[in-house]
Structure formats: C-alpha cells, structure tokens
Amino acid sequence: MMKAVFGAMFAVMLLHCAAAQTVHMVGDGVGWEIPPNSSFSYSNWASGKTFMVGDILVFNFMTNQHDVLRVPQASYDACTQDNAIGSVITTGPANITLDSAGTHYYICTFGRHCEFGQKLAVTVVSSTPGGANPRCPPLQPAPLSPPPLHPPRPNRMPVHPPLLRLPTMKAPPQV
C-alpha cells in the first residue's frame, strides 16, 4: 500500500516536471486591472510563484481600457514609459512568453493606473537542460515527522492518497 502511494506520488512528480511551460493568469480572477482594494497587489500575486523561461503570462484586460508595456526597473519604479522594452500591447487579453531570465517589469500606461498599482514585476529563472529545475525538487528522504493524529484505517484505501506526505518510518498496520 505504501509502495502504491509512493509510486503514485512519483508519477505525479514526473508529470509535473515534464510540463514544458506554465501559463500564469496575471492577477488570477482580478485580471489586469487597477487593484480593487489595498489587500490586493500584483507583487502579492507574484510572490511564491516560480516563473521560468518559456512560461506564459496572460494579461486579461479589456481592449481600450488598459494595456501592457514592458519597461526597465527605473520606469517601473517611477511609473514612466522611458526606455520601454518593445512596444505597448493594446489588445487584450495579451499573452506574453517569458523569453529570458531576470526580472521583467510591466506597467499599464493608461492614466495613473500604474501609480494606482497596475504594475507587475516577475523574476524569471532559466531551466538548464539536465540541470536543476526549481519545479522538480530532488527526491530525498523526508524529515521524520510525528505520526498522524488519526492513523489510516487498515481495511480501507483512502480515496485520496496523501500525495504530499512521504511515508514515515512507521511499521505497517497489523491486519
């Protein structure tokens, strides 16, 4: 049973790691807008996510209400269009493929939207062939964790095997 769980977990990781690119919906349900309140920010949206070369950012906005322009950091900080990288994308939704490693900065050029928080910075990492892929943590023994409060019942297979927990050193339940 543990073998089955471990095998399933390994297969999931293989599938996960084989994915060539990830599509990131910028702002998720909010899309590419002026942040609706002070709890939302594009830096919060980006934090904790891994952006890799080849991934796609989807900026979901209404044409003629917003746009997307890549700029250098100074222009991102100051909300100006100085030294823009490439040209402004006016048609939404806009898909942008992250083509290089480093930090990429995007702003909306409409009115004061950028000053109101419609700006995004993402740090893009490269995936070296055969090298370390940040999305593929090496398989290594998990640190010994305390036994679960509710041990699995011996006579029933769980509907959803605990994929995220590596098997502990507990003896298998006696049947």
Ligand X SMILES: *[C@@H]1O[C@H](CO)[C@@H](O)[C@H](O)[C@H]1NC(C)=O
User: By the criterion CB under 6 A, which residues form the site for ligand X?
Assistant: 23, 30, 36-37, 39-40, 58, 95
58 contacts which partner out of Cu ion, ligand X, none, CB within 5 to 8 A by kind? ligand X
**Piece of the chain touching Cu ion by CB under 5 A; list 9-17, 40-48, 105-113, 156-164:** 105-113
24 vs 45: CA distance, rounded Å: 10
Q: CA–CA separation, 175 vs 67, rounded Å?
A: 63
Query: In this chain, which stretch among 1-9, 65-73, 121-129, 159-167 interacts with Cu ion, using CB under 5 A?
Result: 65-73
118 binds, among Cu ion, ligand X, none (CB under 5 to 8 A by kind): Cu ion
Tokens (6 digits) for 134 = 């940040």
Burial class (CB in 10 A: 0-12, 13-18, 19+), 88: middle
149: region left, alpha or beta (phi > 0 left; psi from -120 to 50 alpha) = alpha
From ligand X, Cu ion, none, which one binds at residue 81 (CB under 5 to 8 Å depending on kind)? Answer: none
Name which of 36 and 162 has its Cβ closer to ligand X: 36
Residue 37 site contact among ligand X, Cu ion, none (CB < 5 to 8 Å, cut-off depends on kind):
ligand X
**Which lies closer to Cu ion via its Cβ, residue 37 or residue 128?**
37
Q: Return the biggest CA–CA distance within the chain.
A: 71
